[in-house]
Amino acid sequence: MAEPAADKRDAGIVTEPRRVAGQGGARGRFRLMLAVAVPPAMLVAVVGAALVGSPPERSVAVSSAAPISASVAPPADPVARVDFPTRALGLQVVDVESAHALVDGASGTVLAVRGYLTMAPPLPGCEEAGRIDVSWTAFAKEQGFAASPAPFCERRGTLRSPAAADRRGVMHRLDVAMTVGAVLPEAVAASQAVPAPVVLVGTVSGAADGCGNVDRCDQRFDADRLVWADGLWRAPATSVEPALHGAGPRLGSGIRDRLAAGVTAPSDPLLLETLIDAPMLMLADPAAASSIGPNDGAPRRIWYRRSLDTLSGPDASVRWVAIDDDAGAILGSGLVKPRAGLVTTHG
């Protein structure tokens, strides 16, 4: 009767190797191996099921990153993606906001300004047939001159910076007025629907027309030359008023260069050159037209030039020279003065 009691006591002691090994023979050893092996197997099974049941987070992040980066839309503002030049004709190229800060409402500052140009539709009747001499125009085109009426129409546009507004929410733009005789590429002249990235050289002429004393009114910019457009540099082009008639120009380009060199430095970049009559010169430059005086009522064909002077003074300036095509003589020269705009009062 004492032996069963001893068995019970021994069975409760699991750390006794002699009693565990001695129970059950082969079945005992099998139960021992099973008890030892099952927990690790269950652990492996649980981990395996977790790995199979859910996709790894790292692979999801990698696979989802590719389509996101590939589907990112380009910037909404196309100007931000344009690589504008930083200098043009010896001037630093500034944006519209910087142009406002540099002039601070003053007039007469010569600048090279970059931005997106939107031209206003041409005024009706500008290209009417009565203003065009067909034979003269055909001859001028053969000589490589721009002889369409467009450069002699009133042309207005808006130049904006890539950014829509500054930190204060102020919209910055320049009210552009192309100088009479200045040539624009066709793609830029037709930029009413799609603005064109350009660099213009000209003179700030104070507040835009119709601003009066309105605070932060847009500045007016009289543009003499488009030097760069949509990635391409543009050479100056000579225009000829299509209403002129008779024989072709008497003075070749070499003669005009030598005559102009007497009053302007040969190194001064040419901004514009046009062949016009006295009434058209009054529209292009009233101060120049007044300084050369009348011609006793006789018709006169005038070569009118503007050049950029960046060396003779601390600030850049624009010089003009007028040459008589028939006499081969200089009629007058001087500095271009800012034109006063049409000012109206606001209530």
Kindly report the pTM of this predicted structure: 0.71
State how far the alpha carbon of 173 is from the alpha carbons of 95, 101, 122, 183, in Å: 9, 12, 20, 22
Residue 226 backbone dihedrals phi, psi, to 5 degrees: -90, 115
d(CA 196, CA 187) in angstroms, rounded, equals 8
Q: Three-state DSSP class for 7?
A: helix
Tens place of pLDDT per residue across the chain (347 aa)? 444 444 444 444 444 444 434 444 555 554 545 454 545 555 444 444 444 444 444 333 333 333 333 334 433 444 456 899 999 999 999 999 888 888 876 778 999 999 999 999 888 777 665 567 777 777 777 788 888 888 998 899 999 886 655 555 566 789 999 999 999 998 898 777 788 999 999 999 876 665 544 445 678 899 999 999 999 999 999 999 988 877 778 888 999 999 999 888 888 999 999 999 999 999 999 999 999 877 766 778 999 999 999 998 889 999 999 999 999 999 999 999 876 654 332 22
Q: What amino acid is encoded at 100 in this protein?
A: H
Q: Token pair 């001159």 is at which residue?
A: 145
Give the closest residue to 98 by CA, choosing from 178, 161, 167. 161
